[in-house]
Amino acid sequence: MNVLEVADLHVSIGRTDIVRGVSFALEREQTLGIVGESGSGKSMTVLAATGLLDAPGARVGGSAILRDDRLGLARLIGASPKALRRVHGDAIGFVFQDPSTSLNPLLTLERQITESLEAHRNLTRRAARTRALDLLSAVGIPTPENRLDAYPHQLSGGQRQRVMIAIALACDPGLLIADEPTTALDVTTQAQIIDLVRDLQEQRGTAVVWISHDLGVIGQVADDVIVLQQGQVVEHRPIVELVDAPAHPYTQVLLAARPRLGGSPPPPVDDSGAVLLDVANLDVRFPVSTPTGRAQIHAVRDVSFQVRRGTTLGLVGESGSGKSTIANALTGLVRANGSATLEGQPLLGKVPRDRRRRLAMVFQDPFSSLDPRIRAGDAVAEPLRVHRLRPGRHRERVAALFDLVRLPTAFASRFPHELSGGQRQRVSIARALALEPDLLILDEATASLDASIQAQVLGLLRDLQQELALTYLFIAHDLAIVQDMSHDVLVMQEGVAVEYRPAGELFADPREEYTQRLLAAVPPERPRAARSGR
């Protein structure tokens, strides 16, 4: 029996067609994965099909029919708001991407879990509280009785997502919509949430629609997969078949672009082994002001490492591990103790300008790291102007830099909003290279990009390292791309360097328990369905 049947779904806003004729069906206990890159219409498809779309001016066509044990048949497209409210929260539960914004900061967890029980089941306050307690323990919140009266800010990101799942499952819905539920989480937390949803699904027989940009995650959860490209289904098949024999060229691109463990960087350009950056006993604390007073965060604790000229040091760890703080200390953005030298010359404290420019940085978000009112060419020329280099010859230099990052020279006159995410990140790289730095710090430089674009930018970075004999400090949370890029790897956990070894050794034989956990949490290349024989 199908829980949800969607036929010929269309969504358009103004004159733009965002979803163009999507159809699928879903049975009890089945998980349908929907995969595609940003802008492919994944979320729009599912929100429109379930009647939760809240985009002014959006027109939805086609049909979506829900079969629920209690409520019977319900048409979701074209239904009245009242009819949809009966279904939402009762027959369909939702989990969204960012657990830090999807919970109400002013209400207790109990209130947020019991709201839908009161709305749909008319439970008394006391009965709802008991149910909330059961749900919190079902989603693995430790000491749930103490957590009922807690507020979201008192929980970690992973715990918040567990609470979100408890809210979604409160009324035991037959259908769970999970919209990128692990994208904002660390890799170890992601693995826990995947397991949790699978367990709950098995116990309750829930059908799940799981949306993700990450084929690795989809491989771990889905039975069938829909590949969406520009609002159209290009492939709809069981996950194992899709991974083993992708039929559509776009699926092949997605599969080829997905970061996979097992790669290795090209051999270093310069194998003299000369040390370029030498960091010893780096220690960073910063004061943070909380509403109740000042506190200190010990962000980096006594970290030492070296980067050899022409090589890449990968810096990995989960959020809050101190990776970016190290980059900020080296570039003088935060104050640090200890020592850091670039070819013997100190980098910490007051440093002459022309030594500063031997380090350049590329940031994560290509949307916020370029000034929206400055043309791409001017952004690249700005470091030259600031450091008074090559006066009168900026235009030639900018053209050469655009060539270097494989962008047409004509793009120099474009504003950031006229460029795609990948193109913007190429501009950021060109800007970083403008001063011919010795060391390039790449702080999650590809983390915001779609997998296919990420693969291209990583390829560019590898080529540039070869061409220009560059040295990289490569900061990332994704172990697969770190393996693709790095000659040495430093693993950080809560400000401490837990393992620091040549990349080949570390990935082949991780010594520390934490490194092992990180590696184990990376979604395996083979879909889970292939291994469990489903």
Partner 1 sequence: MRSGSPRALFVFLGRRLLYSAVVLFGVLVVTFAIVQLVPGDPIRLALGTRFNQDAYDALRAASGLDRPLHEQFVSYVTGALTGDLGVSFRSGQPVTLLLLERLPATISLALVGVLIALLISVPAGIWAGLREGRLADGIVRVTSQFGVSIPDFWMGLLLITLFAGVLGWLPSSGYAPLAEDPAGWARRVILPALTVGLVAAAILTRYIRAAVLEVAHAGFVRTARSKGLAPSVVTGRHIVRNALVPVLTIVGIQLATILSGVIVVEVVFAWPGLGRLVYDAVAARDYALIQGAVLLIAVMFLVVNLVVDVLYAVVDPRIRLS
The binding site for partner 1 (CB under 8 A) comprises 52, 54, 56, 81, 84-90, 92-94, 96, 98, 101-108, 112, 115-116, 119-120, 146, 149-151, 153-154, 164, 167-168, 170, 290-293
CB nearer to partner 1: pick between 96 and 402: 96
CB nearer to partner 1: pick between 112 and 483: 112
Tokens of residue 127, six digits: 């009965």
CB nearer to partner 1: pick between 97 and 456: 97
CB of 153 to partner 1, least distance (A): 5
CB nearer to partner 1: pick between 6 and 175: 175
CB of 85 to partner 1, least distance (A): 4
The rounded distance, in Å, linking the Cα atoms of 206 and 404 is 52
Closest CA to 231 of 62, 52, 423, 401: 62
CB nearer to partner 1: pick between 154 and 252: 154
Closest CA to 460 of 485, 487, 435: 485
CB of 114 to partner 1, least distance (A): 10
CB of 129 to partner 1, least distance (A): 12
Rounded to whole angstroms, what are the CA distances from 103 to 148, 157, 176, 256?
Answer: 14, 11, 17, 36
2-13/207-212 β-pairing: unpaired
CB of 224 to partner 1, least distance (A): 24
CB nearer to partner 1: pick between 48 and 240: 48
CB nearer to partner 1: pick between 120 and 487: 120
The rounded distance, in Å, linking the Cα atoms of 42 and 212 is 8
CB of 54 to partner 1, least distance (A): 7
488-493/471-476 β-pairing: unpaired
CB nearer to partner 1: pick between 56 and 392: 56
Beta bridge partners of 297: 286
The rounded distance, in Å, linking the Cα atoms of 460 and 463 is 5
CB nearer to partner 1: pick between 52 and 399: 52
**C-beta separation of 138 from 166 below 8 A:** yes
The rounded distance, in Å, linking the Cα atoms of 425 and 458 is 11
Tokens of residue 57, six digits: 């001016």
**C-beta separation of 161 from 185 below 8 A:** yes
Could you give phi then psi for residue 78, rounded to 5 degrees? 85, 5
CB of 2 to partner 1, least distance (A): 22
| 91: amino acid identity, one letter | A
The rounded distance, in Å, linking the Cα atoms of 420 and 426 is 10
CB nearer to partner 1: pick between 52 and 530: 52
Q: Token pair 């289904």 is at which residue? A: 233
Q: What are the residues whose beta carbons fall under 8 Å from the beta carbon of 263, sequence distance 6 or more? A: 480, 483, 484
The rounded distance, in Å, linking the Cα atoms of 44 and 339 is 51
DSSP secondary structure code for residue 320 in this structure: T
CB of 168 to partner 1, least distance (A): 8
CB nearer to partner 1: pick between 154 and 345: 154
**C-beta separation of 51 from 57 below 8 A:** no
Helix, strand and coil content of the chain, in percent to the nearest 5, comes to: 40, 25, 35
| 46: amino acid identity, one letter | V
Instruction: Give the CA count within 13 Å in the CB-facing half-sphere of 47.
Output: 16
CB of 116 to partner 1, least distance (A): 4
CB of 149 to partner 1, least distance (A): 4
DSSP secondary structure code for residue 522 in this structure: S
CB of 211 to partner 1, least distance (A): 14
Closest CA to 274 of 303, 304, 310: 310
CB of 291 to partner 1, least distance (A): 4
CB nearer to partner 1: pick between 160 and 528: 160
